[in-house]
Structure 1
């Protein structure tokens, strides 16, 4: 049987050209998700060569500058963090940290459980975020409570993004990332990271507030609403991007 298509408001349709296609459903976000694409002019050969060169560099782990690392360690100590110098991590061309730190605690007696092997810059931004945003948000949500412990789910590990068997190297493989599973409070209460977009409690508001604030310190912030791989933690990393772009999901 022939089908009949009824068009409402046909006068409003363009006189020429095909009807617009429906927009595809959005894909799940992860560490690899790029910013929204824009229509760009055709690249010049020099631009293609530059992109290929950057892609090759991305396969190698970053190498730290001595002066920058010394300044970072001074700032980390001033922020009240407890840390030690860690041995060079060398897991091949793509994975490792030249000058890692072993982060043991943060200002105010906050322990990092377990201790985290990461780059100094990652530790410094974590310390700044805790003092600048997490602690004030907790005081507003739960007056009288303080954080005694930070539970991290993943620091340095040599793997691909989201644990995939193929694809790009994770920022964890460079020491640029840390996954936060939750906090321990002075009362003994545990605050765990979980899907909280529709949680109307003060604890839910606390999680949303610190997640939004995290993008003031980190260049990538992925929460339980981003995809299935981040349902129980916040992924925080300091990946450098062109133009200072930040990815907050």
Structure 2
């Protein structure tokens, strides 16, 4: 009798575990972006693995360009260029600013395709919702300090090359709202007002889309911009968000 009781108890526990697993799987099926094996779709909400999937596009230019086209992102592919050695780019694109999209200023910047894809998702899922929530209007343009630059980290003469050396990064310095109001990282990061709240919200939202996000919270070198990049970090896929 005791053995039968233990067997029934084990079956009940197994049934509960199975039910929880099935419920969890059903919930995840409703959000495919939270699963590591599903295909990336730039039009979907940000999921648990969206950032890793975007970073994984480095080295797969054809797939990245196909995702831009699937999402209706207008772009001009750039020819291979840059310096020699560890400098240079092969998958840079210039976003053309499709109808209703946020413009980049200066407009000629051409980051790598994975960075461009993440920028558009950041715009759709993070920047514009935050602007509407806090200011009741959209962002018209994003100002930046550039993308490609053949240099080592922090401009040193030795050490690792920056992600800028392969156009896998962009430095964001500010935002202009639809009514012309400007919000800058250097001028508005600190404080308790809506401008500071907006900057912190878009920084935090970028952390789920880029491999590295560095802000004024990181060090003085980033007091005037957000550094966003899609560094490849192998199987671990660790991310930096400061």
Normalising by structure 2, we get a TM-score of 0.71
SS of the equivalent of 1:132 reads helix
CA distance in 1, matches of 2:171, 2:72: 21
Q: How does 1:186-205 map to 2 (within 5 A)?
A: 186-194=178-186, 198-205=190-197
Pairing 1:157–2:141 present: no
Aligned to 2:4: none
Aligned to 2:175: 183
The structure in which a higher percent of residues are strand is: 1
1:127-156 Cα deviation digits (max 9, x unpaired): 11111111111111101x111111111211
Cα RMSD of the aligned pairs, angstroms, is 2.0
- Structure 2 counterpart of 1:233, from 200, 225, 239: 225
- Structure 2 counterpart of 1:129, from 122, 125, 141: 122
- Structure 1 counterpart of 2:140, from 142, 148, 153: 148
SS of the equivalent of 2:161 reads coil
1:170-225 Cα deviation digits (max 9, x unpaired): 00011110000111111011111137665110111111111111110001000012
SS of the equivalent of 2:97 reads strand
CA distance in 1, matches of 2:58, 2:233: 16
Q: Which moved more, 1:203-212 or 1:75-84?
A: 75-84
Aligned to 1:120: 113
Pairing 1:93–2:99 present: no
Change (3 A) 1:191 1:80: farther
Aligned to 1:28: none
CA distance in 1, matches of 2:187, 2:77: 35
- Structure 2 counterpart of 1:102, from 89, 94, 110: 94
1:107 deviates by 6.1
1:229 deviates by 1.1
Dislocated runs of 4+, deviation >4 Å: 195-198
Q: Which moved more, 1:195-204 or 1:219-228?
A: 195-204
1:36-75 Cα deviation digits (max 9, x unpaired): xxxxxxxxxxxxxxxxxxxxxxxxxxx964xx31221122
The answer as to whether partners of 2:149 and 2:164 remain within 8 angstroms in 1 is yes
Q: How does 1:198-213 map to 2 (within 5 A)?
A: 198-213=190-205
Change (3 A) 1:213 1:106: farther
CA distance in 2, matches of 1:239, 1:64: 8
User: 5+ unaligned residues in a row in structure 2: which ranges?
Assistant: 1-56
The structure in which a higher percent of residues are helix is: 2
Normalising by structure 1, we get a TM-score of 0.69
User: 5+ unaligned residues in a row in structure 1: which ranges?
Assistant: 1-62
SS of the equivalent of 1:117 reads coil
The answer as to whether partners of 2:58 and 2:232 remain within 8 angstroms in 1 is no
